[in-house]
């Protein structure tokens, strides 16, 4: 998969491909991340990407020409990409959308700035995405979040077993995690995790995942489709609660 990010601050964005599992995936050739400077697609000596809004009002608006020239460049070089525009008006980005985008061969993310982007740019946009109900100085941080989340679903970037245990997979939050020491300031690691019984450990973790989701994100819990294993985990959870009563 290839992810292309269009921005006026390429040095700010490039950090997304320089650390962690994404960096390793890029080195291994499993993922390609290209950062394009929108100013390179202007035609004036000042490399102007914004102008005053028609109709008046505060701030500046990003011009359509650089976006279209950049888009044409990408199409000529790689073929037609799937285009995402970062925007507070967009659809809320989530795990399901990240999985959907990870199946695209070429993903182009456009980063807006200032008061917004000329509306005519939307003609080349396939999907507007927001990472939350708040306003950022620009779309770069949102683009990096989208890039990171999407990259995790590209085959070979993250182990499949690890993905299945991530929060939001199958509408469940992740289970609690523990490491050494077994006792820290009188707080003990649950005995089942020290038992070596992998079947019991798996059931315990699933029950804790279900409990966390029901308490912290009941909206996700209600969407979850319960398997036979889930029902066994719920029985374990209810029995544990019954013992405490």
Asked whether residue 42 falls in the same domain as residue 100, the answer is: yes
Asked whether residue 78 falls in the same domain as residue 166, the answer is: no
- Confidence (pLDDT) at 160: 74
Confidence of residue 114 (pLDDT cuts 50, 70, 90): confident
Asked whether residue 12 falls in the same domain as residue 69, the answer is: yes
- Confidence (pLDDT) at 159: 78
Q: Last residue of some domain: 105, 140, 158?
A: 158
Number of Cβ atoms within 10 Å of the Cβ of 148:
17
Asked whether residue 174 falls in the same domain as residue 118, the answer is: no
- Residues that are catalytic: 88, 115, 152, 166
Burial of 73 (0-12, 13-18, 19+ CB in 10 A): middle
Supply the range of the domain harboring residue 207: 162-244
- Confidence (pLDDT) at 171: 84
Looking at the structure of the chain, the number of domains it has is 2
Residue 136 is assigned to a ligand binding site: yes
Q: How do residues 1-23 score in pLDDT, each as one tens digit?
A: 999 999 999 999 999 999 999 99
- Confidence (pLDDT) at 1: 96
Of all residues in the chain, the percent with pLDDT exceeding 90 is 87
- Confidence (pLDDT) at 241: 80
Q: What is the mean pLDDT of residues 116-124?
A: 96
Confidence of residue 164 (pLDDT cuts 50, 70, 90): low
Asked whether residue 67 falls in the same domain as residue 141, the answer is: yes
Residue 133 is assigned to a ligand binding site: yes
Q: Which two tokens stand for residue 35?
A: 């950062």
Q: Last residue of some domain: 141, 158, 175?
A: 158
Asked whether residue 142 falls in the same domain as residue 193, the answer is: no
Asked whether residue 95 falls in the same domain as residue 180, the answer is: no
Residue 134 is assigned to a ligand binding site: yes
DSSP 117: B
Residues whose CB is less than 8 angstroms from the CB of residue 38 and which lie 6 or more positions away in sequence, other chains included = 6, 7, 8, 49, 66, 67, 70, 111
Confidence of residue 243 (pLDDT cuts 50, 70, 90): confident
Q: Are 152 and 21 spatial neighbours (Cβ–Cβ below 8 Å)?
A: yes
Distances in Å between the Cα of 210 and the Cα atoms of 44, 60, 118, 178, 201 are: 58, 48, 45, 18, 14
């Amino acid at each position: 998969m290839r992810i292309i990010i269009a921005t006026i601050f390429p040095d700010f964005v490039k950090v997304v491909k320089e650390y962690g599992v994404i960096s390793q995936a890029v080195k291994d050739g499993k993922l390609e991340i290209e950062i394009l400077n929108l100013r390179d697609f202007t035609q004036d000596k000042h490399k102007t990407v914004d102008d005053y809004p028609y109709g008046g009002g505060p701030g500046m608006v990003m011009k359509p020409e650089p976006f279209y020239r950049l888009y044409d460049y990408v199409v000529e070089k790689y073929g037609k990409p799937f285009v995402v525009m970062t925007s507070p008006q967009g659809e809320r980005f989530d795990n399901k959308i990240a999985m959907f985008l990870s199946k695209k061969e070429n993903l182009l993310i456009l980063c807006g700035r200032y008061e917004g982007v000329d509306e005519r740019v939307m003609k080349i946009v396939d999907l507007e995405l927001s990472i939350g109900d708040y306003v950022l100085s620009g779309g770069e941080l949102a683009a990096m979040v989208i890039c990171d989340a999407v990259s995790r679903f590209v085959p070979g970037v993250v182990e499949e077993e690890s993905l299945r245990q991530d929060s939001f997979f199958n509408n469940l939050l992740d289970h609690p995690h523990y490491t050494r020491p077994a006792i820290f300031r009188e707080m003990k690691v649950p005995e089942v995790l020290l038992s070596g019984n992998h079947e019991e450990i798996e059931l315990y973790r699933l029950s804790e995942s279900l409990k966390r989701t029901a308490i912290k994100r009941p909206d996700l819990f209600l969407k979850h489709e319960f398997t036979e294993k889930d029902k066994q985990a719920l029985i374990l959870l209810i029995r544990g609660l019954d013992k405490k009563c």
